[in-house]
Structure 1
Amino acid sequence: MIRKAKMSDVYEIKSLINSYASEGCMLPRSLDSLYTTIRDFMVFEENGHIIGCCGVHPDWEDLGEVVSFAVARGRTRQGIGTELLDACVKDAKEVGMNQLFVLTSSPLFFEKKGFVQIKREDLPWKIWADCVNCSKYPDCDSASLIKEI
């Protein structure tokens, strides 16, 4: 079941995200950052456990960023990621976003969902605030993609 994240989900969301972050696949998240941005997140819950999560963070005017997109190992390629992304796109539209971008090490998934690759330099400078906290900065190997919604 897809639903908005709750405060009680934070520990499981953190564990899921940071399992990928430990491999350099995404930025790690602290408890503080998750508690303060919990309204950005949707989760996929099954049998009382968080199997996947995805957030949309407003960044600029009508632009949002898909953040902390993760599905539990062993549960990928089952449609969970698609359902999460679809729910986040719907939520982003409801608050007035017209574009979503993502910085990702998995561009093919997002391209299949209608995102197109762009140069990172084409995004507002505001997005670089998170980049400077990344262990790969300034030698980022993530792809930048954007989608009109």
Structure 2
Amino acid sequence: MMAEQFQTAGKRAHGPALPFVVRAARMDDVRAIYALLQFFAGRNLLLGRSLSSLYDHLRDFKVAVAADNDRQVLGVCSLHICWENLAEIRSLAVAESFQQGGVGRALVLACLDEARNFGISRVFTLTYQPEFFKKINFRPIDKNELPHKVWSDCINCPMFPDCNEESLIWEAGE
């Protein structure tokens, strides 16, 4: 099944489940993606992205949108290719009222499908939510095992150099 065709129902904090679809991000999603990322960046839960960066890297992003309103962005995730056989899951954010309903999982799985389509068999993440990723077959990895190239965004992080994110990796076939 193609990631863009993935459809399911996510739990809501209040009210019935809302069916959603995961698809490639589009230009008209950028402002909603920006607002969602800024919300969590303001809580030091992820690294914020500028509007310029979002436009520059729009092709990296997947969004989960309400099945009946594809302008209602429920969540976002990015697959950033770092090297020949290495990519990063970054900018995973799900609106608070749609957390715990499978939206984040669907977004990450869509990104992993895309990695497979590119022939990438290793995908890492830096996260404050390691248990979430462990449920999707990511395992801990020492940050020092990752190429130095992956740290280029770290210098822009307010937590640098005292980062306490955990690094995890997914490898095809595990």
User: What TM-score bracket applies, with the shorter chain setting the length?
Assistant: over 0.9
Structure 1 residue identity aligned to 2:159: K
CA shift at 1:131, angstroms? 0.7
Q: Deviations over 1:61-101 (max 9, x none)?
A: 11000010000001100011111111111011111211100
The question of 1:20 aligning with 2:40 is answered: yes
Match of 2:98 among 75, 82, 88: 75
- Which residue identity lines up with residue 31 of structure 1 in the other structure? L
**Unaligned stretches of 5+ in structure 2?**
1-20
Amino acid at match of 2:42: S
Match of residue 4 from structure 1: 24
Q: Does 1:37 align with 2:57?
A: yes
Q: Which residue of 2 aligns with 1:58?
A: 81
Q: Which runs of 5+ in 1 are unaligned?
A: none
Aligned to 1:131: 154
2: CA distance between counterparts of 1:108 and 1:130?
A: 23
CA RMSD of aligned residues (A): 0.7
Query: What is the Cα deviation at residue 42 of structure 1?
Result: 0.5
Say whether 1:95 aligns with 2:115: no
Secondary structure of 2:119's aligned partner: coil
Q: Which runs of 4+ in 1 moved over 2 A?
A: none
Partners of 1:125 and 1:60 lie apart in 2 by 11
- The SS at the match of 1:74 is helix
State the one-letter code of the partner of 1:114.
N
Q: Percent identity?
A: 42
Larger radius of gyration: 2
Q: TM-score, normalised by structure 1?
A: 0.98
Confirm or deny that 1:140 pairs with 2:163.
Answer: yes
